[in-house]
Amino acid sequence: MITAIPDPMRRFARTPFGQMLRHSEGDLFIETDDSELTRELAARFGASERGELLRAVGYVKVVVENMMADDDDAIVRVDAGKLRVLLRGTATILIHDAETRELLVFLLAGVSCTELFERLIPAVVGGDCVVVGRGGITKA
């Protein structure tokens, strides 16, 4: 008997909205399950002058999580060689593979595109990680 493939990380979740951007640093493909988020991310990446960000990411897949409650906005980043994982609270997760330039995002529905683009994506692909939480601001 063949059963469904387990996918606890929802890597195979449908993301039917996509957009390809061509920019001075190469190409970027954005894929999400939310049409408005796709348009807003494409506009932000398209207008970005952050060369290091555009060089670091070639593919973005965002799955919006509607089933969880927001718990915290503190961020924590774990580096494991070319793989980085960033947690915002316990419900938003970003996974960046520097080698393949892929970014997988599980985004809590209440997290804005502004926070995703200006705070979370740079924190997971950038060099230094600034952790902002209830205890203050620290540089990791």
- In tens, the pLDDT along 32-81 reads 999 999 999 999 998 887 778 888 999 999 999 887 777 788 899 999 98
- Say what the pLDDT of residue 67 is: 76
10, part of any domain: no
Q: Cβ distance 123 to 77 under 8 Å? A: yes
91, part of any domain: yes
7, part of any domain: no
24, part of any domain: yes
Total of domains in the chain: 1
Question: Which domain does 68 fall in, by range?
Answer: 17-139
Burial of 100 (0-12, 13-18, 19+ CB in 10 A): exposed
90, part of any domain: yes
101, part of any domain: yes
- Say what the pLDDT of residue 34 is: 95
Instruction: Give the span between the Cα atoms of 125 and 37, in whole angstroms.
Output: 20
81, part of any domain: yes
- Say what the pLDDT of residue 94 is: 95
pLDDT band at 11 (very low <50, low <70, confident <90, very high): low
